[in-house]
Amino acid sequence: MSSPTEATELVSAPEQPHHEVVIIGGGFSGIGAAILLDRAGFTDYLLLEAGDGLGGAWHWNTYPGVAVDIPSFSYQFSFEQVAGWSRVYAPGRELKAYAEHCVDKYDVRRRTRLRTTVTGAAFDDVAHLWRLEIDGSDPITARHVVSATGVLTQPKLPDIDGLPDYTGTVMHTARWDHTVDLTGRRVAIIGTGASAVQAIPHLARTAEHLTVFQRTPIWCLPKPDAPLPGLARAALRSVPGARRVSRLASQAFVELTFPVAAHFAGLVPVAAVGERIGHTHLRQAVKDPRTRAKLTPAYALGCKRPSFSNAYLPTFNRDDVTLETTSISEVTPTGVRTVDGTEHTADVLVLATGFKVFEKGNMPPFTVRGANGLDLEKWWEENRFQAYQGVSVPGFPNFFTILGPYGYNGSSYFNLIETQSAHIVRALRKARKDGATRVEVTAEANADYLASALGRRGNQVFFQESCGVANSYYFDVNGDVPFRPATTLETMWAARRYPLDAYEFTA
């Protein structure tokens, strides 16, 4: 029998979590966070992925033509630069293979659980840990949670009457059905965003006829793409510094085309130069002036995400491709009807209609209840989107995000992943050093950060009148654009130098 003292000790022994860190999401964000936590000595992590494979966007998006649209030299981890890309802009399957390579090389697979959907997360303020509800399985507890569920992951179906009664084949670009043969079929595609821009040239080559339903034209810029011949790959592999130099050049290009162009538009008029390039590209690519006019955006470059393609615009010169800009009234059992009464028959309907972004149930796709039961989605709804350096939110201790509001500056996602992981590692190291089991960003640090982000709006490209007609998913319900208005160097510096008293560490 235990003595009264021993019994008290047993009762009050703090509950130990199953894992020090649980990472939710098996895309590059989750994989990168896992590797970097591991390297920093946080080896007791578990990575949970709802799907049946790793690689995130590159696991799910397999539509014809899918490829990265920033140069591959930038679209990879700085600590794992490979030399085998077949092109400057690698096709999607190479990104998926790269994800698998990283998972194996850095021993992530052993600590991964696939087909494991987190449905809810609740912070236990007594035990200082998160309880994760798992669909169809026992809960998992973690001292810390890294949410790496991405943003552009949940396909958005268009709210068009009649869609459920369509009798042909329907597929969303992010859930491509490779058993469907498009040869000799009449295909219709709704949407002209980045996914459509990549798929359309391929669909046009296969289908008997392709009808493209465009609501808002996209800015399409030339893509400086080319195959990387064996010699170039060999040089990247063996010439000292070659990978570093190619990455540096590619980073500079990416930095100029998004973060600088978007956030410092008032200081550096890159967007205006980009528009001139876009207009020239369109003039050279499309013969018919009426088609050209339809493809010309009425909003400034930067209001919504532009695309890069050399093949998209010339597709509209083909006799077997129709660009339809009359609004859709409904989907019929056999095609798509536009408001002028015309029915466009189609055997296959492709929905290139994008993803949920700021809609409920997406950031993240499970309920998060922090200290005192505070609901994250509701808190953001009531207080607008915000997160300290895009990573942490007051009231949600031990909870960190890779793609939180005001975290991503528009450069390569790999910069973001490494930067946010560095931020998280720094906070966790301090917690470990202090023996703290509860880490929470202060309300002041968060408020100051938000104020500074909003204070930089004046130079951003987003807040000009023409953006009103862009239909851009960048804008949330408050009209905010929660991108991080900073250069990549600044984000890297801030992640490694933020004042540690921005967080409260409690044992």
Indicate the residue among 254 and 387 with the shorter CB distance to ligand NAP.
254
190 interacts with ligand NAP by CB under 6 A: yes
Total binding residues for ligand NAP by CB under 6 A?
Answer: 27
Residues 371-430 that bind ligand NAP (CB under 6 A): none
66 exposed, middle or buried (CB, 10 Å; 0-12, 13-18, 19+)? buried
- Assigned token pair, 296: 């010309």
DSSP labels for 320-358?
Answer: TEEEE-SPEEEEETTEEEETTS-EEE-SEEEE---B-SS
Q: Which two tokens stand for residue 277?
A: 């390039």
Nearest alpha carbon to residue 408 among 55, 119, 148: 148
CB-based contacts of 400, cutoff 8 Å, min separation 6: 144, 145, 146, 147, 391, 392, 420, 423, 424, 427
Closest CB to ligand NAP: residue number:
193
Decide: is 189 part of the binding site for ligand NAP (CB under 6 A): no
Residues 271-310, one symbol each (x = binds ligand NAP by CB under 6 A, - = not), give: ----------------------------------x-----
Choice from 90, 140, 196, 402 touching ligand NAP (CB under 6 A): 196
The answer for residues whose C-beta is within 8 angstroms of residue 507's C-beta and 6 or more apart is 434, 435, 436, 437, 438
Q: Which is nearer to ligand NAP, 38 or 225 (CB)?
A: 225
Q: Is the peptide bond before 17 cis (omega within 30 degrees of 0)?
A: no
User: For ligand NAP, which stretch binds (CB under 6 A), given 78-86, 286-294, 350-358, 433-441?
Assistant: 350-358
> Which residues between 215 and 234 bind ligand NAP (CB under 6 A)?
215-216
Given the complex with ligand NAP, which of 354 and 397 has the nearer CB atom? 354
**Any contact of residue 352 with ligand NAP (CB under 6 A)?**
yes
* Shortest distance, position 344 Cβ to ligand NAP, whole Å: 13
Buried (b) or exposed (e) across 392-411, using 16+ Cβ within 10 A? bbbbbbbbbbbbbbbbbbbb
Binding mask 112-151 for ligand NAP (x = CB under 6 A): ----------------------------------------
Q: Which is nearer to ligand NAP, 196 or 236 (CB)?
A: 196
Q: Phi and psi of 221, rounded to 5°?
A: -105, 155
Given the complex with ligand NAP, which of 46 and 351 has the nearer CB atom?
351
Asked if residue 484 binds ligand NAP (CB under 6 A), the reply is: no
Site for ligand NAP in 60-89 (CB under 6 A): 67-69
Stretch that binds ligand NAP, among 45-53, 157-165, 202-210, 492-500 (CB under 6 A): 157-165
| 317 is a site residue for ligand NAP (CB under 6 A) | no
If binding is defined by CB under 6 A, does position 328 make contact with ligand NAP? Answer: yes
User: Is the Cβ–Cβ distance between 391 and 423 less than 8 Å?
Assistant: yes
- Long-range contacts of range 87-92, CB-CB < 8 Å, 24 or more positions apart? 87/225, 87/226, 87/227, 87/228, 88/224, 88/225, 88/226, 88/228, 89/223, 89/225, 89/308, 91/66, 91/67, 92/58, 92/61, 92/62, 92/66, 92/67, 92/68
**Residue 191 sits in the site that holds ligand NAP (CB under 6 A):** yes
Q: Could you tell me the smallest distance in angstroms from the CB atom of residue 67 to ligand NAP?
A: 6
Enumerate binding residues for ligand NAP (CB under 6 A): 67-69, 152, 158-160, 173, 190-196, 198, 213, 215-216, 305, 328, 352-355, 471, 473
